[in-house]
Amino acid sequence: MAVTVGTVTNGARAFGNTRTMAHTTDVGVYRVMLVWVFNSIAHDVTAITYGGEDILANVLIDNVNWAGNDARVHCFYMIAPPIGPADVVYTLAGNCTHACSAQAWVGDDPYYPFGVPVTATGNDALITVDVNSEADEKVVDGACFSSGAPTAITLGAGQTELARANSGAGGATGYGSSYETGAATNTMSWGLAAACDWATGAVALRPLVPFAERPIEYTIDVWDPEQRMIDSAGHVVPRYKIKPNRWGRLIGLERTTAEVYENNYEDPALFYNESVQYDGEADQAQIVINRGDLLEVMMARLASGSTG
């Protein structure tokens, strides 16, 4: 299932500390909504709701700001938001120029919806951040910049615009949001007419993959003293090549059974790599999986043991 963008509602710049904006969430079985808030001055978002439901704790990107002041980006999310019209309502810690973008997405994986968010700040004429993703994902970004003089913002190559406003007339704060199809490295960028304070963040949205189409790509034998991870072709996987968003099987722990599980989540011998962080200097891989107890211990041993 592909991740596709639905209704996008943008709130124009305003000065103050609160906003109420009507937004409509599209029909779809697997849905996620992103709400970007762009503001000048270092004011936190102190409250944010959608349809009356609090989403303040659902932070993807928060308080990313240049030099603690002039350009700030926040991104909140809601899994399975109510379908149809509802209000986005947020409050800032103080008065400032602010704007927002609410984006409905369909086809996102409700269990593992996002990759690792990446942020950046600067003071120059190019807003840029690099995001690692997969070809079937969508990478979404949000950028905010501040300039007292009118400054235009230009969409980066390969990106599809979701929201954009220049600075200057109507407010010193400018902003943009866009998306593009996932790749090994997505460089999300915005060009500026002049050097400005800026802040940006981006994240990959992961598509739902039906259970029947999710192969078991890795295997670990509980009795292997080196705790090597084997791929589906029977080769040892070096730690730096272990990938996230993959299913694996632990063999030698469970007795053989004729039971057929409805999906991978119910099979106690299967694990899912939620994230992988590789340390090249130590040659170690920190792996977070969706199981606990023994499997977590096995992953910890794998991180420091030999994988070829």
Query: What single DSSP character describes residue 183?
Result: -
> CB of 138 within 8 A of CB of 149?
no
For residue 83, the model assigns a pLDDT of: 87
Domain ranges within the chain, ordered by starting residue: 4-205, 211-304
* Beta-strand relationship, 4-25 and 160-165: unpaired
For residue 307, the model assigns a pLDDT of: 44
For residue 256, the model assigns a pLDDT of: 60
pTM over 0.75: no
CA distance 160 to 137: 14
> CB of 100 within 8 A of CB of 37?
yes
List of residues 6+ apart from 39 with CB closer than 8 A: 72, 74, 92, 96, 97, 98, 99, 144, 173
Rg of the chain (C-alpha set):
22
CA distances from 268 to 54, 112, 246, 273, 290 (A): 34, 18, 16, 14, 11
For residue 308, the model assigns a pLDDT of: 39
Query: What single DSSP character describes residue 256?
Result: P
CA distance 197 to 85: 35
Map residue 26 onto helix, strand or coil.
coil
**Token pair recorded at residue 35:** 């709400």
Encode the chain (308 residues) as per-residue pLDDT tens digits.
Answer: 689 999 999 999 899 999 999 999 887 767 899 999 998 877 889 999 999 999 998 888 876 766 655 788 999 999 889 888 999 999 999 998 899 999 999 988 887 889 889 999 988 999 999 999 988 899 999 999 988 788 899 999 999 999 999 987 556 789 999 999 988 899 999 999 989 889 999 999 999 876 545 578 888 887 888 778 888 778 888 888 888 878 888 887 666 666 666 677 777 778 888 778 888 888 787 877 776 555 555 566 555 554 43
CA distance 294 to 308: 23
For residue 111, the model assigns a pLDDT of: 76
For residue 306, the model assigns a pLDDT of: 45
List of residues 6+ apart from 67 with CB closer than 8 A: 121, 123, 197
Q: Where is 294: in which H helix or E strand?
A: helix 294-304
Each residue's pLDDT tens digit, 24-37: 988 776 789 999 99
For residue 272, the model assigns a pLDDT of: 82
Q: What angle do CA 83, 63, 8 make, to 5 degrees?
A: 30
